[in-house]
Amino acid sequence: MAKSKAKQVRVGFIGVGGVARWAHLGHLSKWEDVKLVSFCDVNKEGVEKAAAEYGAKAYTDAKAMLDHEDLDAVYVCVPPFAHADQELMVAARKKALFVEKPLSTTLEKAREIHEAVRKAKIVSAVGYNWRACEVTKKAQELIGTKPVSAAYGYWVGGMPGAAWWRQQKMSGGQLNEQTTHIVDIARYLIGGKVVKVYASGAKGIAGKRVD
């Protein structure tokens, strides 16, 4: 079905790998009020394939895409190690920003992104999607106004898939890459500042360690 062009939000993507494909592009492409305008990825073949599939323009350079395309909003879906200046460029151009978690492998970069977004006063969101789950709403109802003194959470997931995921320098490790959802949801439900975080785990299970 052809989309009506009235009031469409013009969206660009930086990074069109796993999560962009299985979580975002399929949904956005069905929304009447969204136009997928352009995609950028360092994987030329991958971005050309995705662009052809969704009727968007392909780029391998994020700055070139942001300079040439008239976008309202940009999704940044790159792995943790790859966050360089993408969010800063989006904020400088005052475009709305959606960025996949986690923001970076370092606190310094995450703070730099946070500061740029705060100063630019743009609409922004990070992909902490657990906040939108039905079970989270239920937990909020149950907690109500009761004071909570501690939170307990655990993560059981599959083995790391993409190659960068197994490398601590690139993913920031499992606490940064995966269990970040647990930390986020605890903060969302309970609020306040994190006073103490304790974790235990094992390393090297996915085969030969490469970090």
Q: How far is CA 179 from CA 9, 36, 128, 200, 205, in A?
A: 32, 31, 11, 12, 17
Q: How far apart are CA 203 and CA 72, in angstroms?
A: 42
**Bridge partners (DSSP) listed for residue 34:** 9
CB of 63 to ligand NAD, least distance (A): 10
Q: How far apart are CA 91 and CA 89, in angstroms?
A: 5
Binding mask 105-124 for ligand NAD (x = CB under 6 A): --------------------
Nearer to ligand NAD, 16 or 183 (CB): 16
Verify binding: residue 167, ligand NAD, rule CB under 6 A: no
CB of 167 to ligand NAD, least distance (A): 12
Region near ligand NAD per CB under 6 A, out of 71-79, 134-142, 145-153, 196-204: 71-79
Q: How far apart are CA 11 and CA 73, in angstroms?
A: 5
> Which one, of 114, 107, 194, lies nearest residue 151 by Cα?
194
Verify binding: residue 43, ligand NAD, rule CB under 6 A: yes
Interface pick for ligand NAD out of 36, 46, 73, 179 (rule CB under 6 A): 46
Enumerate binding residues for ligand NAD (CB under 6 A): 14-20, 40-43, 46, 62, 77-80, 82, 100-102, 127, 129, 162, 177
